[in-house]
A and B are shown apart, each in its own frame.
Chain A
Amino acid sequence: MSTLEIKDLHVSVATDDGPKEILKGVDLTIEGGQTHAIMGPNGSGKSTLAYAIAGHPKYEVTSGSITLDGVDVLAMTVDERARAGLFLAMQYPVEVPGVSTSNFLRAAATAVRGEAPKLRTWVKEVKTAMSNLDIDPAFGDRNVNEGFSGGEKKRQEVLQLALLAPKIAVLDETDSGLDVDALRVVSEGVNRYKASGDVGVLLITHYTRILQHIKPDVVHVFAGGKVVLSGGPELADELEKNGYERFTSPAAAV
């Protein structure tokens, strides 16, 4: 069982006016078998947390630590983090012209598994994973995310999640831009992944509707660059009813 531990994490981004601190001391521990939901208003730093875990070069960690099973994640390159078992389903997956989806998936699986998957079983594996997510096999020949709709891109993220089988998955607003049917398909995909082993899920979302499909064990409220309140699933219901106002009012932003 894996543990992702984030301690007092401070992260800045470069702006025209110099570095701006976005994360101001995040503490969070996710253990295998658990699903944590991070909820918060726009601009609270949720996506910054996701990118900082994945190692996006735009985000500079100024202090604090991230460890996976005790190993320093911040010392790893982006690809090393993925091979160590971290996965980020992105809010805005990137288009990569010139690289077919099937070549990309195979290269990723080869890297993460440490050896090229056997061609015969691989083809079947991809086909099954695609069919589970209602993805047309023709997408394999198309360039990575190129010209895909928002919903198609999100399905591709969950397809990669299924094939790469990480220890801890961070899902950054995977629900945004999905219609009801797509949300169900994508959620089923995440639940299949959860059921596949003692894996941890960090579900970042602005809305509560995805939590009707993917049940969280812990809900964190994120505001002003850190976790301001943690609780059980019932916290999501309260947010649904009352919104984020009490966390964003000037009195709360201390």
Chain B
Amino acid sequence: MTDVVSGLAPELAGAKEGQGSKPLASASERFTSYDLDAFEVPGGREENWRFTPMKRLRGLHDGTARFDGSATITVDGSSETVGRDDARIGQGGVPADRVAAAAWTAFTEATVVTIDGTPEPVTVRVTGPGEGAVAAAHLQIRTTPHAEGTVVVEFSGSGTLADNIEVVLADGSKLTLVVTEEWADDAVHVSAQHLSIGRDATLRATSVALGGDLVRISPTVKYRGPGGDAELAGLGFADAGQHLEQRLLVDHGEPSCTSNVLYKNALQGRKGTTDARTVWIGDVLIRATAENTRTFEFNRNLVLTEHARADSVPNLEIETGEIAGAGHASATGRFDDEQLFYLQSRGIPEDVARRLVVRGFFGEILSKITLPDLRERLEAAIEAELAVTGI
């Protein structure tokens, strides 16, 4: 099922298209499969993995992880628990890396939440398998045609979790989705989000990554018909030793669709331990068929201290000249001593000054969360992050 690349040196014989350290010429060539063995074991130098500290993946990528635990999933609202053979599973997308394929191979039951017009927000709580344990999970959120609703997915707890989240929006439906990562310090979470947008459907997604040792989230947006609209907003707050990675691909293959991506990360490291680290990859592909596309993606990073590193790689590939608009931007700034001096010189104490800067920075993202209780809780969690490091 995978094309073996021809014409390579003998030691690379057997390499498959879209894998290995040979960079892809285009996001359109990205390899996907449900079959775990179709993916080479990544070594860490591949484009897809080069920013990820592989040693901290706890074997999710190379088959040494044993899925011996299970995540606890509770849903406030109606949901179904279904087997792997449920016809709906897989409608959202196909794994595009080995960890996603491993999670797809390992899950036993999937949780399906269907939004069919109920106005109440549905909250899905996923709790990790506990320290030392590894789990795979599968979640699908779907809408019926023209339905509107809100789903909050909250990740917390300890342990290692690999999962796939399918979001399948029916034609004309509108989903507001908030995904929060509020893990304990030990947790590793590698998550593939398959976001499939029906004709004239709208997705408003907000991602909030605060906790965990390593959190790597890979959302992929695909459109199934014209008129789709996806907004992906996100924030991350990386403390000393934390690795937060967001890898987005918006694949425009249908005409007259819109995408807007805005991710903001703040980093605060500490001397004498591993750097605080964020990675943001923003790929947007506008295929030849996707005329009249409008897209914009923006990543901003705020480095609060030394011992922090932010990587930002925006990519925009355009295969048609007939687009309505496309742009991308990335900016990384430092909260420096001069800014602190300036705010303090107006009477503002140092801790308040830092809070002011971080609150202002994240305000644009948090204001998109329309559930007041959730927003307040996340605001408080961010302030607590600032307090923990004592700056």
Contact = CB atoms under 8 A, between A and B. Distances in A.
Interface string B297-339: 0000010000000000000000000000000000001000111
A108 B341 contact: no
**Chain A CB within 10 A, most for which of B333, B346, B360:** B346
B132 interface: no
**Chain B CB within 10 A, most for which of A56, A96, A103, A104:** A96
A87 B346 CA distance: 7
B356 A99 contact: yes
A79 B356 contact: no
Given A96-B339, A111-B349, A82 B360 contact: no
Contacts of B348: 79, 82, 107-108, 111
Contact of B352 (A57, A82, A111, A112): A111
B345 interface: yes
A96 B346 contact: no
B342 A79 contact: no
A56 B347 contact: no
Contact of B337 (A57, A88, A96): A57
A109 to B, nearest CB: 8
Interface in B282-296: none
A12 interface: no
Given A79-B349, A107-B348, A94 B341 contact: yes
B54 interface: no
B344 A78 contact: yes
B361 A54 contact: no
A98 B348 CA distance: 16
Contacts of B361: 97-98
Interface in A39-80: 54-57, 77-79
A87 B345 CA distance: 7
Interface SS majority for chain A: mixed
**Chain A CB within 10 A, most for which of B341, B345, B346, B347:** B347
B344 A98 contact: no
A160 B343 CA distance: 11
Contacts of B383: none
Interface string B343-372: 111111110100011101100000000000
A214 interface: no
B346 A164 contact: yes
Given A79-B349, A108-B348, A99 B342 contact: no
A100 interface: yes
A90 interface: yes
B264 to A, nearest CB: 9
A112 B341 contact: no
A194 interface: no
Contact of B346 (A56, A97, A160): A160
A154 interface: no
Contact of B360 (A55, A87, A98): A98
B344 A99 contact: no
A99 B360 contact: yes
A233 interface: no
B357 A96 contact: yes
A82 B343 CA distance: 10
B361 to A, nearest CB: 4
A112 B345 CA distance: 10
B254 to A, nearest CB: 36
Nearest to B361: A98
B341 A57 contact: yes
A25 interface: no
Contact of A103 (B339, B344, B350, B360): B360
A93 B341 CA distance: 11
Given A82-B344, A83-B347, A93-B342, 13 more contacts: A54-B345, A77-B344, A78-B345, A82-B346, A96-B343, A99-B343, A100-B360, A103-B356, A104-B343, A107-B356, A111-B347, A111-B348, A144-B342
Interface of A: 54-57, 77-79, 81-83, 87-88, 90, 93-100, 103-104, 107-108, 111-112, 143-144, 160, 164
Report the 10 A-B pairs with minimum CB-CB distance, sorted nearest first. Answer: A82-B347, A111-B347, A98-B361, A108-B346, A94-B342, A78-B344, A112-B347, A98-B360, A79-B344, A99-B360
11 contacts: A55-B345, A57-B337, A57-B341, A78-B344, A78-B345, A79-B348, A98-B357, A99-B357, A100-B360, A103-B360, A108-B343
